Amino acid sequence: MTMPSERTRSIIQAREFLVDLSRDKTLPEAVRTEARRLLRHYPTADEVLLAGKVEEQHEDGLPWVFLSSRID
């Protein structure tokens, strides 16, 4: 089972991977363009961590937490 911190880390790393793809001149332009297109709506690391913090602090005590405010 994936833990919230692992899921959070993976989302952040996926964004970093898309950034790398978008800047890699050895890749076809279509790949770089698609990476940039996906990045337009992809959350930043700060946004992902904030979402995790909001989930963790939810007053109703959510039955599960999808994201984490930490990636340790």
pLDDT tens-digit series, residues 22-70? 999 999 999 999 999 999 999 999 999 998 888 888 767 666 777 888 8
Q: How many domains, in total, are found in the chain?
A: 1
pLDDT tens-digit series, residues 10-26? 999 999 999 999 999 99
Q: Which domain holds residue 18?
A: 4-54
Contact (CB, 8 A) for 70 and 5: yes
The pLDDT score that the predictor gives to residue 68 is 85
The pLDDT score that the predictor gives to residue 65 is 73
For residue 61, being part of any structural domain is answered with no
For residue 12, being part of any structural domain is answered with yes
For residue 71, being part of any structural domain is answered with no
Contact (CB, 8 A) for 43 and 11: yes
Number of residues that make up the chain? 72
For residue 68, being part of any structural domain is answered with no
When computed from its CA atoms, the radius of gyration of the chain, rounded to whole angstroms, is 15
Contact (CB, 8 A) for 15 and 45: yes
Q: Look up the pTM and report it.
A: 0.85
